Structure 1
Amino acid sequence: MRWITYIVKCLFCGLVAMQLYFAVQIALWTSLDPSSTAFQRAERWRLCSWHWSCQVHSEWTAYNKISNNLKRAVLVSEDDIFFQHKGVRVEDMEKAWQKNQEKKHAGGKAKTALRGGSTITQQLAKNLFLSSEQNYFRKGQELVITGLLELILPKQRLFEIYLNSVEWGEGVFGIGAAAAHYYATTPGALDVDQAAALASALPAPKCFDKAQYCRRGSINYAARQEFILENMSRVALAPVASPKNPK
């Protein structure tokens, strides 16, 4: 029994050490910009393997140099109450879980069982640190990292890192590279229509970029763009201060 106890202790210590590593890394990002994410590195390896030259583009853009049109469009597309919640939207996760269960019972593949319901912070946690595997252990780790991100970094910084690291096409990461790739412009110069189009791409950016990644029944980007345009004016770009109690 001693060796079992020893193994359990080792596993526990390793798990704690891993969380401490994540916390320290996140704390560094209060002042330093992430050089890359786990997802970017995986994509670079997939596209380039051992080659030195590679068609993977990323260019950091400061938050105040990104068009408010783009910020609002992304919030409508991905997480309209990002500045109000604490990192997780439980109701959305429950709905996504129910849909996935229905899909499994209808004959869908089990590997798609954990899609949807993720906030911007959860997406960021996955992209920064985790693999693309979909299982309950990885989902649990995603929630822990989400909590660390929300605890250590302010909302605006989280959104800035997200906009600069999210995939916008094959080998296209961050709004700096996306604005140049699609419109030959800068993130600060994106107009309303361009912003809505880019935000509509986020659920399936490779398909938006290249037709060979599109499958039958893929996303209707035009309909998403129209929905985003109709709702951009209603989202907040900063935390809403709670009213003070009258004295």
Structure 2
Amino acid sequence: MRKTVRRVAVWAVSLTIFAVLIFTVINPPTTWTMLTEKRRLGQIDREWVAIEEVAPVLLRSVVAAEDANFCQHWGFDLKAIREALDGGASRGASTISQQTVKNVYLWQGRSWFRKSLEALLTPVVEIAWSKRRILEVYVNVAEFDEGVFGIEAASRHYFGVGPEALSAVQAARLAAILPAPKSRSASNPSAAIRQKAVRIIDGAETIRLDGRATCFED
């Protein structure tokens, strides 16, 4: 019995490491969320784009909106976790690294089992992938509208331009609709989204100036 358990454990660890390492050089072909949405909708809009073809202001905007200390942590922002716990928040402490792990390897939901797997996988991804790679994968698998995945599809869906041509305002509005894009619009934003976008523009410029964007910029 013990031998069987050890064997299963070794295989589980080996497969996990392989699954992480393979995506350092190969782009994730799909995710559970994409498969679910494709089954529900019949088709989805998604095309991978290299990070070099994405406007830097979009990358800074996403980081400013979702995880301003992205370059400074190892997958978990302990300060944000403490603040979320102190404030009684149900969300807001997940880093971009954690969200990437969830989107690529796991499924949506709030179960403790999924969160435990996320917590185990996140440090492995942080070790194996560069910060730039984590952000590249994130902006390519994040959902920006119903059935619209990745920044290439999102840029054209909302603004009719490629991700390399996004303005600071457009980038901020795309970042502002995360992580609940199905109830928000980047091209027809509510007053709340407009206000959030203004804050993101300031935040994106702040992390550019203070060096918190260096880990993912050329």
Q: TM-score range by the shorter chain?
A: 0.7 to 0.9
Which consecutive unaligned segments of at least 5 residues does structure 1 have? 1-5, 49-53, 104-112, 211-217, 241-247
**1:226 match:** 198
Q: Deviations over 1:174-222 (max 9, x none)?
A: 0000001001110000011100110101121111149xxxxxxx99211
**2:180 match:** 204
SS across alignment from 1:168 = strand
Asked whether 1:61 is paired with 2:33, we answer: no
**Which whole-Å CA distance do the structure 1 matches of 2:10 and 2:40 have between them?**
31
**2:21 match:** 27
Asked whether 1:195 is paired with 2:167, we answer: no
What is the deviation of 1:227? 0.5
Structure 1 residue identity aligned to 2:95: T
Comparing 8-17 with 159-168, greater Cα deviation is found at 8-17
Cα RMSD (Å) of the superposition?
A: 2.4
Task: Call closer, same or farther: CA 1:142–1:152 in 2, change over 3 Å.
Answer: same
Structure 2 residue identity aligned to 1:237: A
8 Å CA contact 1:204, 1:219 repeated in 2: no
Task: Call closer, same or farther: CA 1:44–1:99 in 2, change over 3 Å.
Answer: farther
The 5-angstrom pairing of residues 114-125 of structure 1 reads 115-125=91-101
Structure 2 residue identity aligned to 1:186: G
TM-score (norm. length: structure 1): 0.77
SS across alignment from 2:144 = strand
The structure 1 residue matched to 2:142, chosen from 166, 181, 188, is 166
The structure 2 residue matched to 1:43, chosen from 10, 15, 37, is 37
**Which whole-Å CA distance do the structure 2 matches of 1:10 and 1:99 have between them?**
45
**Which whole-Å CA distance do the structure 2 matches of 1:33 and 1:165 have between them?**
10
What is the deviation of 1:22? 2.5
**Which whole-Å CA distance do the structure 2 matches of 1:206 and 1:86 have between them?**
30
What is the deviation of 1:223? 1.6
8 Å CA contact 1:156, 1:238 repeated in 2: no
8 Å CA contact 2:106, 2:114 repeated in 1: yes
SS across alignment from 2:92 = coil
TM-score (norm. length: structure 2): 0.86
Task: Call closer, same or farther: CA 1:42–1:208 in 2, change over 3 Å.
Answer: same
Would you say how many aligned residue pairs link Structure 1 and Structure 2? 209
Identity %: 33
SS across alignment from 2:93 = coil
Structure 1 residue identity aligned to 2:193: Y
Task: Call closer, same or farther: CA 1:13–1:238 in 2, change over 3 Å.
Answer: farther
SS across alignment from 1:34 = coil
**1:143 match:** 119
Task: Call closer, same or farther: CA 1:90–1:191 in 2, change over 3 Å.
Answer: same
Task: Call closer, same or farther: CA 1:137–1:95 in 2, change over 3 Å.
Answer: farther
Asked whether 1:87 is paired with 2:75, we answer: yes
SS across alignment from 2:184 = helix
